[in-house]
Amino acid sequence: LVYELRCFLRAFADSVGGADKLPQGAAFTSALRSWLTAGGGSEYQSDVGFVGGVVKFARIEFKMTMSKLQPSFKVRPVYELFLALIRRQLIGAPAGMQSAFAYTNREFVWMGTQESLVAGVFVGFAICFPVAFLVLLCATGSFSVAVFAITTIAAVVGSLLGFVAAFLGWELGTGEAIAATIVIGLSVDYTVHLGHMYVEAGEPLREGKIDVAATNMGVTVVAGGVTTLGSAIFMYACQLSFFLKMATLIAGTIAFSLIYSLFFFMPLCAVFGPEGELRTAREQLVLCGRRLKGDATLPT
């Protein structure tokens, strides 16, 4: 795990002929300070801190085999390993040494941020999917169409995240966590338009409703997908990896949204969709209000 170690105390001991020849007590502090300033230990000056002539902190640098910028689930085991190592080393240590800890520039600190962002993805899913279902239910007024639509959206998100993990080798890191939350909003669009047009179609049978939805909204959905894909292409010229990942996720979301909305959602409605006159949730609420008022001119 650790393949290179830089220890001021080891170098200091070597300079005096071995660890058994190190001075003790107050003489150690003065000898260490002299060695750091004028005795060949100048390269270790930043590793030892003196306050009021007393050593208040010290650090031992190391390099380990873990690569930089790893996802949190790879950093966490290394972090736990170092915590266990430090706990073993601190057993029986003097009171002044009980505050030792492992620090890796930013990897261990960033690990906590990554874990929060990844957890936020699942929290976002838990919030966005129910809200999206309610929006679909209000827009279409049909429970079955809303279920078909939210199933389609879940398939889009699952297919996209599975694709980038299986074929591109991406881990669920910071960039993916931020972009994944945005993806849900993009994947809703086309299914909502097609589902709303299915409900608004004046045809009594499923075949007629599908024909109206595909004719009036299908071309618009495809055109919107093409323009959004075109906008994502420009992001591939960026140098920051986040924008490159964002471009891939946007393009993948649009592609999967077109495929699932046209070739999964529409066939579901064609086979299992509701028939007859359908009303949006708003229209149904208006009718309920009129019924409560005893309006005799209500449509059947």
3-state SS, 67-131, equals: CCCCCHHHHHHHHHHHHHHHHHHHCCCCHHHCCCCCCCCCHHHHHHHHHHHHHHHHHHHHHHHHH
**What's the CA gap between 289 and 300, in Å, rounded?**
15
Mean pLDDT, the chain, as a whole number?
82
Bridge partners (DSSP) of residue 50 are: 55
The reported pLDDT for the residue numbered 266 is 93
Q: Which residues of 257-277 are buried (b: 16+ CB within 10 A; e: fewer)?
A: bbebbbebbbebbbeebbeee
CB–CB of 81/65 below 8 Å?
A: no
Tens-place pLDDT, residues 80-120: 888 888 888 888 777 777 777 777 777 787 888 888 877 88
**What's the CA gap between 80 and 74, in Å, rounded?**
11
The reported pLDDT for the residue numbered 283 is 65
Q: Please say if the pLDDT value at position 235 is more than 90.
A: no
The reported pLDDT for the residue numbered 205 is 87
| Long-range CB contacts for residues 201-209, cutoff 8 Å, separation at least 24 | 204/275, 204/276, 204/277, 205/275, 206/269, 206/270, 206/271, 206/273, 206/275, 207/270, 209/269, 209/273, 209/275
Largest pairwise CA distance in the chain? 107
For the question of whether the overall pTM of this predicted structure is more than 0.95, the answer is no
Q: Please say if the pLDDT value at position 254 is more than 70.
A: yes
Query: Domain 115-292 carries which CATH code?
Result: 1.20.1640.10
Give burial (CB, 10 Å; 0-12/13-18/19+) of 153: buried
The reported pLDDT for the residue numbered 232 is 85
The reported pLDDT for the residue numbered 239 is 85
Q: Where in the chain is the domain with CATH 1.20.1640.10?
A: 115-292
Cα 290 off chain centre by: 47
Cα dist from 183 to 62, 175, 256, 284, whole Å: 40, 12, 11, 31
The reported pLDDT for the residue numbered 290 is 65
Bridge partners (DSSP) of residue 63 are: 4
Q: Please say if the pLDDT value at position 8 is more than 90.
A: no
The reported pLDDT for the residue numbered 299 is 54
Q: Which amino acid is at 63?
A: K
Q: Please say if the pLDDT value at position 180 is more than 90.
A: no
Cα 214 off chain centre by: 35
